[in-house]
Structure 1
């Protein structure tokens, strides 16, 4: 029974990203304004129970230069500052996630970072990954809400530095790299060198970051999204192995340091109770349909409006706005 409990807890920890942040706050006895009051929690819990599922936006922030990222946003919350203020950090990855508490099913829709959309308070359309730099996670979330016409209220923001720590904690991720990945930019801050050979191999934390940051695919951002989806699935499958229970304390500490969320603690606990129902083989993943296109000298991803409407209706029917 005890072994099953820890395995269930680990599954929740990996598959339901928000659990990392909340568990860290709970274990380390930290206060955070990210969690709502008791009355709001009860109202939120009832709303989610009626739906039987939760929708949240998962965002990856690339903070390789060490200038803040997720940590800076969390510091603003602790100090009582407005978390809608500019962060200067663009989202490198945006994934719309749905978790079903009854079945344990996970649904994930990747949104290309170069998607051309309207952002509140800005003139003309811009890349969707700019929203976070203009107004933090809430503006990014509202941008996706407007873009896809969804009732989206929650977010989880993960600093890519967490990937390095967690991958090292589980002794690397074994993955079949589909192509040679090479890119060198000595002018980047810090200088960026990506060099990964194709084929089956185990990526450590640093190589995993290189894999996730590589962008030079024949089909542009779509190729990068597919590569990230493959990595995420392999990472989750391997992190769920019983041997990695020993890495649990380090995972909790890492996710406390590098993850931010506004999902209430009681809802995260509800997700943990449903963790034993999760089957990663049934995880549904998709990417917004569309094509890459230059407008002036800027490369955008132009979504297919009909195709996008269809896939959003199929995957997130219960969250459509009227």
Structure 2
């Protein structure tokens, strides 16, 4: 059974929002003018170019890697892919999950999309998603599964509704896997939160998601909403240093600090209940003896236009 990871970049936006609230405008203060710097009045007036309109959205690929340490994830497959858009004016969040078995072009041939990272790292994963969705993407956030446990433990647990008794044992996993979570409203610690996200079916396959990975994807989206909602609480202000440490220990990203801080300013606008979530349209199927998630091209095009179609990178 493959490991399932969920990335918590949305939580990091909240963390940086809290961080910014402590530092204030000092982050953006200009450098002091040196004695040798000519005064503006001493220079010839220069016609200013009209400023280009700022892009008030950020779109990035969140990827969870099948590795214990994000720094040692070379050659591993992604187990979670979420294309995420945050509007920096409104705080609106849109997330489209991409099943890991989605068939698309990877390394010049048709393959499962989760193989892209194993071939060429984060850039190859971005290219595969671009090929699939017809978008021009620039940013990624990559995490290992440890971040789930660390963040959940840092905020004192996450309360969720567990849909059925989750029981699964795999002594050959590294580390050995033993899932034992009861149905109903439960406050999960880090270990159980990770297990909650990994579970697909029990050992004899009599209990689990009828729609397989699609059902597990819905659980991811539900968990993300609850994680963000339960992180944005006054009591977690006191846990800011631990959350920042967790972010830097478990996250690899090419998003600049300046852009993260810009995104952090939208943290207090986030309406978790209004978070838009969707899954790539399609269904499971076989080509030869290989099982894939086969996306519906027409429905995918409509969904991408609806959620991301007016986006263009800066």
TM-score by length of 2: 0.79
> 1:71 — aligned with what?
71
Post-superposition offset of 1:62: 3.4
Written as runs of structure 1 = structure 2, the 5 A alignment for 1:280-299 is 280-299=272-291
Post-superposition offset of 1:320: 7.0
Asked if 1:210 is matched to 2:195, the reply is yes
> 2:268 — aligned with what?
276
**Alpha-carbon distance in structure 2 between the residues aligned to 1:270 and 1:320:** 17
> 2:25 — aligned with what?
none
Number of equivalences:
268
Written as runs of structure 1 = structure 2, the 5 A alignment for 1:158-307 is 158-216=143-201, 217-307=209-299
Verify the 8 A CA contact 2:15 2:243 in the aligned structure 1.
Answer: no
**Alpha-carbon distance in structure 2 between the residues aligned to 1:281 and 1:146:** 31
Post-superposition offset of 1:204: 0.5
Post-superposition offset of 1:297: 3.4
> 2:79 — aligned with what?
92
Verify the 8 A CA contact 1:152 1:319 in the aligned structure 2.
Answer: no
**Alpha-carbon distance in structure 2 between the residues aligned to 1:288 and 1:13:** 20
> 2:98 pairs with 101, 111, 115, which one?
111
Verify the 8 A CA contact 2:100 2:112 in the aligned structure 1.
Answer: yes
For structure 2, the 5+ residue unaligned runs are: 1-8, 21-50, 202-208
**Alpha-carbon distance in structure 2 between the residues aligned to 1:251 and 1:223:** 29
Verify the 8 A CA contact 2:104 2:131 in the aligned structure 1.
Answer: no
Post-superposition offset of 1:180: 2.0
Question: Matched residue of 2:310: which SS?
Answer: helix
Post-superposition offset of 1:13: 6.7
> 1:60 — aligned with what?
64
Verify the 8 A CA contact 2:104 2:132 in the aligned structure 1.
Answer: yes
Question: Matched residue of 1:174: which SS?
Answer: strand
Structural RMSD (CA) = 2.4
**Alpha-carbon distance in structure 1 between the residues aligned to 2:14 and 2:300:** 25
TM-score by length of 1: 0.77
**Alpha-carbon distance in structure 1 between the residues aligned to 2:226 and 2:169:** 26
Name whichever structure is richer in helix by fraction.
Answer: 1
> 2:13 — aligned with what?
16
Question: Matched residue of 1:244: which SS?
Answer: helix
**Alpha-carbon distance in structure 1 between the residues aligned to 2:224 and 2:265:** 22
Post-superposition offset of 1:17: 7.7
Verify the 8 A CA contact 2:283 2:293 in the aligned structure 1.
Answer: yes
**Alpha-carbon distance in structure 1 between the residues aligned to 2:77 and 2:274:** 31
Compare CA radii of gyration and give the structure with the larger one.
2
